Amino acid sequence: MNMQKALLKITEYITAYNEHNVAGMMVLLTDDVHFTHIANGEIVMKLTSKIAFEQQALKVLPMFSKRTQTIVSFKYSPPSTTVDIHFSATAAIDLDNGIKAGEMIVANVKSIFTFNDNLINTITDIA
């Protein structure tokens, strides 16, 4: 996949994410998508299928009244594409980590994407 197509797929994915459009996210993923979330150097979530990814995406929807990912920078280096993202969200409910409903969450995240057959095949989020 060339740089323009990679950026387009990632932008479509982030747009669907920001719009709480889980179906829009799913059409961009391979059936065997691998998602890993790393926080403070520890793997805190690992999903290995589109079904598991969709279930998790639907599970977190009610947790945020608003959430936005904004691309800060983009590095195309086949076979992966690394995107620095500014994340902000407002909690809709009290979360297990102590964040209360109405509180704002802000973080800078690095997301690494790979592709297969013009679809997103892996996403690694590093917070």
Domain boundaries, the chain: 3-126
- Please tell me the pTM assigned to this model: 0.93
The pLDDT tens digits for 89-125 are 999 999 998 999 999 999 999 999 999 999 999 999 9
The pLDDT tens digits for 3-56 are 999 999 999 999 999 999 999 999 999 999 999 999 999 999 999 999 999 999
Domain range 3-126, CATH class: alpha beta
Sheet holding 104-116, edge to edge: 42-47, 29-39, 119-126, 104-116, 80-91, 64-77
Q: Is there a contact between 13 and 121 (Cβ–Cβ < 8 Å)?
A: no
Amino acid at position 125, single letter: D
